[in-house]
Amino acid sequence: MSVKINGKKLHLTTFEVPTNGKNIRRCLVAQKQFAEANLTIKRVDVKDDESVVKSLEAQIKLIDTYIEFLEPVLGLSAAQVEKVQNSDFDDVVEFTNEVIAKVLKVDSSKSDDDK
């Protein structure tokens, strides 16, 4: 099975993404990497130079992880990767979260209805 992802927000086309084990694993690995980076960033001690450097490294890795995730999952060309890299980062994060939610079949509307 596959899901359709509208890439309009990042000036891309619509993608057909297989919901196979390979892509599910990619989604879970990306989520883990996002969580690890966010934890490092959140725990920064601005009075400790080493902690600040680790936080900056985590921020760089976080940005790289989005591209490293989207490129193979969507089968992006070099020109499309360039578009993603030049897009507003908040849009990239939102788009990536949408891709992950659709591949993992997470229905965010259900959580809103339960409240």
pLDDT tens digit sequence for 93-112: 999 999 999 999 875 544 43
Of 44, 47, 71, 70, nearest to 58 (Cα)?
A: 44
Share of the chain above pLDDT 70, in %: 92
pLDDT tens digits for 39-50? 999 999 999 999
**pLDDT recorded at residue 99:** 97
**pLDDT recorded at residue 79:** 95
CA angle (86 as vertex; 9, 78 as ends), nearest 5: 95
Distances (CA, A) of 82 to 11, 50, 58, 97, 98: 11, 32, 22, 19, 20
AA letter at 41: I
Residues 6+ apart with CB under 8 A from 12: 74, 76, 80, 83, 84
CA angle (73 as vertex; 106, 12 as ends), nearest 5: 95
Q: Could you tell me which residue, 114 or 59, shows the higher pLDDT?
A: 59
| C-alpha–C-alpha distance, residues 54 and 41, integer Å | 8
pLDDT tens digits for 56-78? 999 999 999 999 999 999 999 99
